[in-house]
Structures are given as structure tokens and as C-alpha cells.
Amino acid sequence: MTLSSVKPPQAQVVVLDTGGQYCHLIARKIRELGVYSEIRPSETPAAELLGGRGIVISGGPASVYESGAPQVDPGIFSLGCAVLGLCYGHQTIAWHLGGAVQRGDKGEYGLAWLETLRPSPLFESVEGRQQIWMSHRDSVTRVPPGFEALGATETCAIAAMGDAARRIYGLQFHPEVVHTTNGKRILANFLFRVCGCTRDWDPRRQAERIQDEIRRTAAGRNVFFFVSGGVDSTVAFTLCLRALGPERVRALYVDTGLMRAGETEFVRNVFDSLGRGIFAVEDASARFLSALDGVRDPEQKRRVIGEMFVEVQEQILASGRYLEGRWILGQGTIYPDTIESGGTAKADVIKTHHNRVSGIQRLIAENRIVEPLHSLYKDEVRELGRELGLPEQLLQRHPFPGPGLAIRCLCEESGKPVERLEEGWLAPLHSVGVQGDSRSYRPVLILDAAPRQQDLHELAAERINRLSQINRVIALLESHVPAGSMTTSPAALCQTRLERLRRVDAIVRDAAERTGFDREVWQFPVILVPLGTRERPDSVVLRPVDSVDGMTARAVPLPGALREELCRRLLAEEGVCAVFLDLTHKPPGTIEWE
Ligand code: XMP
């Protein structure tokens, strides 16, 4: 299903995906080292991998000896190209080539110390004792014939192994994560000393190639885009604009009425600065808001919004206004959205809403679509955008969810008081979390803000592990009344509350941008919760998080001065009772509350 309308170079190194959350990280690290790399399913037939210089088998959650565990085609070991197995991949190599893998008595998770045992091209210039990052219970207990153990930790006798003659190597640890001090060097050794790769990849140099491909795909036709104001659709559009000229491209922005303050103007300014007459706004806010009238359940909200997006897009596509005859559709789809693998389940859902609605499927079938960024990662899109001269303010924007403020405006069915527990206050507000592999929907624990926020984060982690009825912990920073006097109120998604959320969100964004705090965090959602008093029925939750890709996230403390300014300004707002800071990491809490 990957569209190859805009072809990148042939991948020198292919990463075989065995279901690990680090698969994309491996491919990204290899590209950062200047070598173009792509991901394929683990069971890809060896014949399809002919011609590459190297194969990396990723880590994954399964055990090689269990039935149903991800497989590789054993033919890959006789292709003559170099192979590197990481974690599960390391065990897969041992399993296929005559070594042994066993379940250990103890797992080894987190930091560990590796001792290299003998010289090897993989460890060139990084020999000796070094910090690595481990996450495994199974271990290789006997190396296959022809292999030697190359490194060990206290609990893992074969933490690295290799057969130099066949150029096949395995590492129990993860060189792709930053906690492995020499990880990048080890990967570079594999690429350049073992595989013999050449540097063929620099995202900043892709503009010309992609523009050529756009011209070829468009073949004289014009390109129409739905743009969101995000980095991806803007960079994709700019490439098409450059490739085809202003007469042959159009951008349409659908205003859902669920956007942040000033969003439509921001997007209009960006596009107006690219060229006159190429941009239009479709105001669908009344339709979205009336479809959401009275909807309180988070899943239902997402469904309604998703369906409305589809309806509006389909109508525009069917209207013939843009796609008649000589028009094709352009999209900002990026590489992780095109791969169906473990870590991208959420991307698939988002994609169904925006990038793969049925009208769009039809265009794909008719070869009337161009996705200029389909082989790039987000950081690569940013670098390319910088090269194209797009404003830094746009390139550095935090990700913003498709359903917009709707999923940051919490609704409740009924009014209930908070409840005193020994550990804090139990607020009868429900938010979504991820615990194990499933979604939870549970109440929130409120802690009184202690003097040091760092201690609060530790305290929160302890509470959440101990109290099974909650999935999130917040600290009360400041309020008009004590936590014990607050109640929830029956609340829905209405203009008044959306306006209130828009105002408080704008205050937070203004202060975070002015103090530079927004550049220290990956995302900073602001959530309106129906908790307070009769006069001030809502409160504000601040959710600054640090993350790499949104799959996991760390709750971040607020600097003292920013915290004081926000409390002062937010509590002066109409209807706002209290200001809270979300202390929950992901897992167990999701980044968004719904
Ligand atoms: P969660 O809340 O699952 O979010 O921890 C992880 C990241 O995904 C974003 N997100 C979405 N983005 N449509 C989107 O385009 C959605 O429905 C959606 N839900 C969550 C969220 O903002 C965070 O960056």
C-alpha cells in the first residue's frame, strides 16, 4: 500500500520489523548516519532483498521459540550481504544458525555494562567497558557454529556475537537508543566497516529529486491539497508549488471550529506568503459543532469528528470544484504513516480519518494522488522545510491532534464532589490512559502542590502504581477554593466552554513562547475540566510533556516564574476555578486526556 509515486534512492540497508517499538528508531539512526534505509516486514522473502548491502533484524516483544513468533526467511543469511540482529534479532540469528536461546531466570532491563571480549570491526575504536541499554528476558546461551562471543555483561554471557567471515553479527542490547553510549559509533561501524555502505542520504538535498518526481507524477495535471497548518502538509504543498508553479496548485483548509485561537489566520499568513490566490478556507465549523451537540463520551466525540471530516472531504472531492479533469490530490503523508507495524497503530487510525477516506482510496486506484514526503521522517521533513525557507515558527510547531480542542474539553454526565482519600483527593473526572496494552478510563487523583515539583512527580508515580482505581495524578497549583470544596458539573461541548478553553490555551501558549519553555517540551496540551464551583465551574490542567514520537512521554515540571504567571493569569479568567499540573508519564497516562 506504500505509494511509490515519489521514489527515494534504493535502500542500502533494510530493517526487518519483528514488531519492536524501536524499529523506526533504528531506520532513523541509520539515515542520520547518511545511509538511506527502509523498513520491511520481517518475513520478506530473501529474493526481494537481493542487491542491498546490509540487513538489520529489529528487536521485538516475542520469544523466538514460541509458535507464532515473527519469522525471517533463513535465505537472508546466504544472500552474501551483512546482517545485524538486535535483541530479538540477535536471538533469531542464534536460533536459525544452530545456537541456543533460553528464557533467563532474571530479566535485564535498563542500563548495563558491556565488556568487549575480543577485537571486532563492530567495536572498532569503542572497545572495553561501556554503558549499554538492555531490555530482555530471553538470552542466547550458545553461539552458532562459526560465531564467537564478542561481548558480555554480568547477567548476559553473550551480549554480542559475530561471524566475521560471513559478516553476521548479533547484539543483545540496543545501539539505537541514546542510553547506549557508543551506540551510534557501533551502528556506524556496521554500516561503513562491515556493510561497506556509502553515504547517499541527506534530507536537505531531497528537494530537487522530489520536485522532479512530482512533475513526473503530475504529468501535466494540477495538484489540490487539504492542508492543516501542520509541518507535513505545508512542506508537501511547498514542494508541489515549486515543482509546478502557482497556477497549478491549490490548498484548502477546513475550519472545524475546533481549532486554537488565531489558527486560521496563522495558516492563511503562511500560505499567503507562499503565493497569491493559492489558498482558500472552507468554514465547516457550524456543521462540526452541531454534530457534536450533546456528545460527552470521548470515543463518540472522535467518531463524530472523524465521520464529519470524511463527509466534508468527500463532498469537496465530489463537487468537482478542484478535482475535475486535470486535478490530482496531494497529501503530506510521511513515512511512519505508510508502515503497518507495532508502533504505528495510532497513526493508522488517524490515517483512516484523513489520508485514506474512500474518496481518496478511489483517487489512489486511479493514480491521481501524489505524496511527496512518503519516504521521510518528521525530523527530515523539518530539515527539508528549513532548506525550502519555510518560517521556523511553522517548522517548530508542536504536534496538534486532528480532533482539535474537542478532545481537550472534558465533558461529564453528572455533578459529584471530590472525595478525600489518605493519599490525596479523588476527582470524579474521567480521563483515558494506557495500562498494559489496553485503554483505561478512570478518575484522577489530586495532590496538594508540595514545594518541590520534582518530588511531586516521584510521589505521583508511586501513587499511580499503588492505587488501581486511578490512571492519572495532577497537582493543585493554585485555586479560588480548596480542593475539598470542588465538585464536577454536568458539562458538554458547547460554544461557551470551547471559547473558554481557547482563551486559556492562548494564555498558556503566549507565556510558554515568550519564556522559551515551548522549545523545551515536545507538546503542551491545555485541558479544560468541569471541576470547580457553581460560579467557576471549570478548571485548567497544564500538560507539558517531553517525548520523541508521542508513543511514550515524560511529564515535565514547570519553571517557577512561568508557573506563577500562568496561575495569576488563568485564575483571573471568567469561569476558571483552579490550575492543575498533570504529573503523569505515558504510560500509564496518555498525552491527551481523551
Ligand atoms: P496520546 O493521547 O495517545 O497521543 O498519548 C499521542 C500523540 O498523538 C496525538 N493524537 C492525535 N493526533 N489525531 C491526531 O492527529 C488524533 O485523533 C490524535 N489523538 C492523539 C497527541 O496529540 C499526541 O501527540
Instruction: Give dist(CA 370, CA 354) in Å, integer.
Output: 15
- For the segment 144-203, what is each residue's pLDDT rounded down to a tens digit? 999 999 999 999 999 999 999 999 999 999 999 888 999 999 999 999 999 999 999 999
Cα(347) to centroid(ligand 1), Å = 9
Residues 360, 277, single domain; the answer is: yes
CATH number for the domain that contains residue 365? 3.40.50.620
| Nearest residue by C-alpha to atom 22 in ligand 1 | 401
CA angle 426, 427, 428 (to 5 degrees): 115
Please give the DSSP secondary-structure letter assigned to residue 64.
Answer: T
How far is 48 from 52, CA to CA, in rounded Å? 10
Atom 8 (ligand 1) nearest CA: 550
Pick the range with the lowest mean pLDDT from 17-31, 131-145, 311-325, 569-583. Answer: 311-325
**Dist. CA 309–CA 578, nearest whole Å:** 34
Q: Rounded to the nearest whole angstrom, what is the distance from the C-alpha of residue 105 to the centroid of ligand 1?
A: 38
Are 561 and 415 in a shared domain? Answer: yes
Write the residue with the smallest CA distance to atom 24 of ligand 1.
550
For position 178, what pLDDT does the model report? 85
Measured CA to CA, the distance from residue 449 to residue 347 in angstroms comes to 36
Q: What is the mean pLDDT of residues 395-419?
A: 94
CATH code assigned at 430: 3.30.300.10
Protein residues whose CB sits closer than 6 Å to any atom of ligand 1: 302, 346, 350, 399, 401-403, 523, 550, 586, 590-592
Instruction: Give the Å distance between the CA of 547 and the centre of ligand 1.
Output: 12
Residue 496 sits in the same domain as residue 372: no
Instruction: Please tell me whether residues 400 and 415 are part of one structural domain.
Output: no
Average pLDDT for residues 464-490, to the nearest whole number?
95
Number of domains in the chain: 3
Which atom of ligand 1 is closest in space to residue 589's alpha carbon?
5
* Same-domain status, 178 and 214: no
Q: Which residues share a beta bridge with 142?
A: 100
CA of 308 to the centre of ligand 1 (A): 18
Q: Is residue 48 part of a domain?
A: yes
Cα–Cα distance for residue pair 236/370, rounded to 1 Å:
9
Q: Does residue 591 lie within any of the structural domains?
A: no
Q: Do residues 18 and 118 both lie within one domain?
A: yes
Res 454: pLDDT? 64
Cα(162) to centroid(ligand 1), Å: 41
Residues 465 and 373 placed together within one structural domain of the fold: no
Its pTM stands at: 0.84
Residue 25 phi/psi, 5-degree rounding, is -65, -40
The pLDDT, as a whole number, for residue 350 is 34
- List the beta bridge partners of residue 528: 409, 540
Classified as helix, coil or strand, 395 is helix
How many angstroms separate the alpha carbon of residue 483 from the centre of ligand 1? 29
Q: Which atom of ligand 1 lies closest to the CA of 400?
A: 22
Q: Identify the CA nearest to 458 among candidates 320, 593, 554.
A: 554
Of the given ranges (42-46, 216-220, 273-277, 548-552), which has the lowest mean pLDDT? 548-552
Model confidence at 352: pLDDT above 80: no
Mean pLDDT, rounded, for 531-560: 93
Instruction: Note the residue count of the chain.
Output: 594
* pLDDT, tens digit (0-9, with 9 covering 90-100), for 543-554: 999 988 787 889
Asked if residue 6 has pLDDT above 60, the reply is: no
pLDDT over threshold 60, residue 393 = yes
Q: Which of 382, 404, 426 is the last residue of a domain?
A: 404
Q: In this predicted model, which residue has the larger pLDDT, 451 or 384?
A: 384
Supply the residue whose CA is at minimum distance from atom 9 of ligand 1.
401
The mean pLDDT of the chain is: 91
Judge contact between 481 and 557, C-beta under 8 A.
no
φ/ψ (deg, to 5) at 256 = -90, -10
Which sign does the torsion angle of CA 570, 574, 578, 583 carry? negative
183 domain-assigned: yes
Residue whose CA lies nearest to ligand 1 atom number 14: 401
Instruction: Using the atom order of ligand 1, give the atom closest to the CA of residue 523.
Output: 24
Positions marked active-site = 87, 174, 176
How many of the other CB atoms lie within 10 Å of CB of 125? Answer: 9
φ/ψ of residue 461, rounded to 5: -60, -40
3-class SS string, 269-318: HHHHHHCCCCEEEEECHHHHHHHCCCCCCHHHHHHHHHHHHHHHHHHHHH
Instruction: Judge whether 5 lies within some domain.
Output: no
427 assigned to some structural domain: yes
Grid cell of 556 as nine digits: 515535565
User: Of 334, 369, 404, which residue constitutes the final position of a domain?
Assistant: 404
Q: What is the DSSP letter of 58?
A: P
- Answer yes or no: is pLDDT of 360 > 80: no
Least confident of 118-132, 148-162, 390-404: 390-404
**What pLDDT was estimated at residue 588?**
84
What gap in Å lies between CA 483 and CA 447, rounded to an integer? 9
Nearest atom, ligand 1, residue 302 CA: 17
Question: From atom 10 of ligand 1, which residue's Cα is the shortest distance away?
Answer: 401
Question: Of 404, 435, 456, which residue sits at a domain end?
Answer: 404
- Residue 478: burial class (beta carbons within 10 Å; 0-12, 13-18, 19+): middle
Q: For a pocket test of ligand 1, which of 303, 344, 346, 400 has the largest count of ligand atoms closer than 8 A to its C-beta?
A: 346
Query: Which residue among 356, 591, 593 has the greatest number of ligand 1 atoms within 8 angstroms of its CB, and so is best to mutate?
Result: 591
Measured by CA distance, the residue closest to atom 19 of ligand 1 is 401
User: Rounded to whole angstroms, how far apart are CA atoms 71 and 475?
Assistant: 47
345 backbone dihedrals φ, ψ, rounded to 5°: -55, -45
Residue 4 lies in a domain: no
86 and 181, same domain (yes or no): yes
- Domain assignment of residue 278, yes or no: yes
Tell me the HSE value of 226 on the side-chain side, using a 13 A CA sphere: 21
**345 with 421, same domain?**
no
Across the range 68-77, mean pLDDT stands at 95
**Residue 414 domain boundaries:** 409-582
431 in a domain, yes or no? yes
Residue-wise pLDDT for 190-240, tens only, equals 999 999 999 999 999 999 999 999 999 999 999 999 999 999 999 999 999
356 lies in the same domain as 278: yes
Same domain, 387 and 247: yes
- Cα 403 to averaged position of ligand 1 atoms, centre (Å): 9
Confidence of residue 348 (pLDDT cuts 50, 70, 90): very low
Are 259 and 351 in the same domain?
A: yes
Residue 337's nearest CA partner among 521, 546, 549, 523 is: 549
